[in-house]
Amino acid sequence: MLKGKNEIVQNYLSSIPFDRRLYAQDIVGSIAHARMLAKQSIITNDDAKTIESGLLRIKEKIEEGRFKYNPEYEDIHMNIEAELYKEIGEIAGKLHTARSRNDQIALDLRLFLKEQISTVLRCLSTLQEILIRKAEVNISTIIPGYTHLQQAQPILIAHHILAYFDMFQRDKERFSSCYERVDVMPLGSGALAGVTYPIDRSAVAKDLGFSSVTSNSIDAVSDRDFIIEYHAAAAITMMHLSRFADELILWSTSEFGFITINSNFTSGSSIMPQKRNPDIAELIRGKTGRVYGNLMAILTCMKALPLSYNRDLQEDKEGLFDTVDTLEHSLTIFTDMIDTVQFNTEQIRTAFKNDYVLATDIADYLVQKGLPFREAHAVVSRLSNYAVKCKKNFNELSLKEYQDFSPFFDDDVYKLTIDKSISSRDVFGGTAPQQVKSAIERYWKLIKNENK
Ligand code: ARG
C-alpha cells in the first residue's frame, strides 16, 4: 500500500480526534480495574499502585496540555496505554488483564453519560425555577390564549409560562429514567464472552459508583440503548425549547409586541436599523434539527448490527458529544434569555381586538340558564356571526339583539368580562388565579424536594 493511502486508512479508523474527550473516564475506569485486579490477587498491590500513579500522572499531563496524542494509536484507550508504558515500563502491560477495549469503551461512555445527565437535570431545574419566578412576577397579566393560533379564551400569562414547567418536568423524568439504564457497569464482559480471571465485578461497580452490573456479556459490549435513550430524551427537550423559542419569536414581533427580548440575545440587521432579530431563539429552534439528526444517525447505525461488538459502534461518539453540547448550551442560554425577557403589559392589554374570546363563556352562561351545551354553542355561533357582521363587540349588542338569538339572555349577560372568564376556570390545572397560585406553590415544593 502507498504511504499516503495508509494514512488515509489510519485516519479513517481513528477515533482519537473525538474520543480523547473520554480521557478522564478512561483513567478512572482503569484505576478501578487495576485496584480490583490487585484485590483479587491477579496482579500485585505494588503493580496496581504503580499503574495508578502512572495513570494519574498521565491525567495531569492531559489536563495541563502536555500530552501528545499519537495518531498511530487509534483511540483514547491505546493512547493512554502507550503513554503508560513510557511512564512505568513493562508493568503497564498488566493493566489490560481481564479487559477488552469493547467493555472498556462501554464503561467510559456510561461514566460520561452519568455526569452529563446529572448536568442536564440541574440545568432543567434552574430553568424551571426561572419560569416559576416569571410566573410569580406576571401573575396578574392576562393574554389571549390561542388554539390554531386564533384567539380562543383569555388566560393568565403565568399559566402559559407554567405549561413549560410541566414539559420540562416530564423531560427530567425521562432523563432520570434513562439514568437508571446508564447506571450499570459493563466491565468484566471482556471482548464479548466474559473473562477467565477470578475478577470481582461488583467491587468495580461500587468503586465507580454504579448501582449494578450488566448481566449478559454479549449484550453489554454491543448495547447502546442507553445512548439512544439519551438522544431521544434530548430530542424531546430540544423540541420543547424550540416551541418556547418559537413563541418568543412570535411574541417579540411588532404585530404581537408581548415581549422584548434582551439585546444580549438579539442582533441588529446590517441594513434595516429598526430591526432586533431574535437570533438566539432562532438558533435554538434551528439546532433542534441536528439533535433529531443525531438520534436518527445512531438508530440507523444500530439497526442491522449483528451481535456483539462491531466497529460501527465507534460512530456512537461524535453525535453524542454534539447533542450533549448543543443541549447543555441551548438550555443555559435559553434560561438566561427567558430570565431577562420583559413582558410589555401595556401592549399585551391591547391584544384583545374584541371580546369574542368570551364566546365560550356566553355559551356556558346559557347552559347555566338551562340550555343544553350543544344548543348553547349553536346559539353563540349564530350570535358571533351576527356580531362580526355588524362589527360590534358582544358587550355592544343590545339585550334585544341578544334575545333575538335566545330568550335565555338577560341583563346579567353584560357581567361577563375577561377577568370573570379567567376566575371562573377554577378547576385543578385551570387558569383561575387561585389555581395558578397554588400551582406555583406546588412547583416550588417539587423543586425544593428534588434539591434535597
Ligand atoms: N475505539 C473503539 C470504539 O470507540 C474502541 C473499541 C474498539 N474495539 C475493537 N475491537 N476494535 O468503539
The reply to whether omega before 15 is within 30° of 0 (cis) is no
Cα(336)–Cα(262) distance, integer angstroms:
10
Q: Which three cell numbers stand for residue 311?
A: 466497529
Burial class (CB in 10 A: 0-12, 13-18, 19+), 349: exposed
What is the percent of the chain where pLDDT is above 70? 99
Give the largest Cα separation in the chain, rounded: 101
Burial class (CB in 10 A: 0-12, 13-18, 19+), 139: middle
Instruction: Report residues whose beta carbon is within 6 angstroms of any ligand 1 atom.
Output: 15, 19, 75, 101-102, 105, 309, 311, 313-314
Task: Report phi then psi at 155, rounded to 5.
Answer: -140, 165
Which one from 41, 148, 215, 254 is the annotated catalytic residue? 148
Which one from 118, 211, 269, 438 is the annotated catalytic residue? 269
| Distance from residue 335's CA to the centre of ligand 1 (Å) | 37
Nearby residues of 19 by Cβ (< 8 Å), 6 or more positions away:
75, 76, 105, 314, 317
CA 413 to each of CA 226, 388, 404: distance values in angstroms, whole numbers, following the listed order? 58, 18, 14
Mean pLDDT of 74-102: 98
Give the pLDDT confidence score for residue 5 in this predicted structure.
58
Confidence band (pLDDT; 50, 70, 90) for 166? very high
| Distance from residue 105's CA to the centre of ligand 1 (Å) | 7
Give the pLDDT confidence score for residue 240 in this predicted structure.
98
Give the pLDDT confidence score for residue 1 in this predicted structure.
40
The residue whose CB lies within 8 Å of the most ligand 1 atoms, and thus the one to mutate among 12, 23, 314, is 314
- Whether 100 is a known active-site residue: answer no
**How high does pLDDT run on average in the chain?**
96
This prediction's pTM: 0.94
Give the pLDDT confidence score for residue 401 in this predicted structure.
95
Which of helix, strand or coil describes residue 71? coil
Which of helix, strand or coil describes residue 339? helix
Supply the DSSP string of 358-414, one letter for each residue: GHHHHHHHHHHTT--HHHHHHHHHHHHHHHHHTT--GGGS-HHHHHHH-TT--GGGG
Asked if residue 226 lies in contact with residue 110, where contact means CB atoms within 8 angstroms, the answer is yes
- Whether 329 is a known active-site residue: answer no
Confidence band (pLDDT; 50, 70, 90) for 29? very high
